[in-house]
Copies of this chain bind each other. A is one copy, B any other.
């Protein structure tokens, strides 16, 4: 006889096992799913394991979420929204463009620090580029990019023409990629403080960005 490890990872706080209100259970499942997807990736994560970790039976999960895909999408969206909020809030608290970008960057890296597992779902997951989730993933990246475009537009004061917008879009997406890639590196060098990371990145791209903005403002 096999003894399956039978301690659920999470006994939802303050509730006796097996009788948890719907909303609470939903949150718990989302949290555990975030972690599980981060650890295993979409495909390798199994609903069975999620159920085991939550200490519930599978139908409970399917009572809360339609499918594995929908559960994953929900995780991703939730995390993406949280990240966008944090960054936007931080940006809003500064007025000088460079300071704003710096504040946003710091908020970005701090979020990764706090929500390690959630962030991995966002950027490091194998499936994040799966066709079915590409939409959500690129929406997130685009949101970061848009924020930056907005920032740059403020700086320049003029609206760029079509070609200019195309270029700006490409560049901000490239920068978003730089953030993501740097995040992965950071994962292995956690001793670097978020502020320093932000400064490094700003020193690298700010000159080019400023130049670009001027160029675009001048071109039409």
**Chain A interface secondary structure, helix, strand, loop or mixed?**
helix
**Contact status of A185 and B173, CB under 8 A, knowing A41-B130, A126-B129, A130-B41:** yes
Closest residue of chain B to A130 (Cβ to Cβ) is B126
Closest residue of chain B to A71 (Cβ to Cβ) is B1
Q: Which of A90-98, A154-162, A175-183 contacts B (4 or more CB under 8 A)?
A: A175-183
Query: How many identical chains are in the complex?
Result: 4
- Chain B contacts of A62 at CB under 8 A? 1
Cα separation A201 to B209 with both chains bound (whole Å): 10
Closest residue of chain B to A64 (Cβ to Cβ) is B1
Cα separation A123 to B70 with both chains bound (whole Å): 24
- Chain B contacts of A66 at CB under 8 A? 1
**Contact status of A181 and B173, CB under 8 A, knowing A1-B64, A63-B2, A204-B208:** yes
Other-chain contact of A211, B42, B43, B203 (Cβ < 8 Å): B203
- Chain B contacts of A200 at CB under 8 A? 167, 170-171
Q: Is the CB of B180 within 8 A of A181?
A: yes
- Chain B contacts of A70 at CB under 8 A? 1
Query: For A170, A171, A181, which residue has the most chain B Cβ atoms within 10 angstroms?
Result: A181
1/0 contact string of A169-212 vs chain B (CB within 8 Å): 11101111111111011100100100001001101111111011
Cα separation A162 to B203 with both chains bound (whole Å): 19
A146 within 8 A of B: no
- Chain B contacts of A209 at CB under 8 A? 204
In residues 50-77 of chain A, which contact B (Cβ within 8 Å)? 62-66, 70
Q: Is the CB of B65 within 8 A of A1?
A: yes
- Chain B nearest CB, measured from A19 CB (Å): 16
Residues of A that sit less than 8 Å from B by CB:
1-2, 41-44, 62-66, 70, 124-131, 138, 141, 166-167, 169-171, 173-182, 184-186, 189, 192, 197, 200-201, 203-209, 211-212, 215
Top 4 A-B pairs, shortest CB-CB distance: A177-B181, A207-B207, A204-B208, A174-B178
- 13 contacts across the A-B interface (CB closer than 8 A): A1-B66, A1-B70, A2-B64, A126-B129, A126-B130, A169-B185, A170-B182, A174-B201, A177-B179, A180-B181, A203-B215, A205-B205, A208-B208
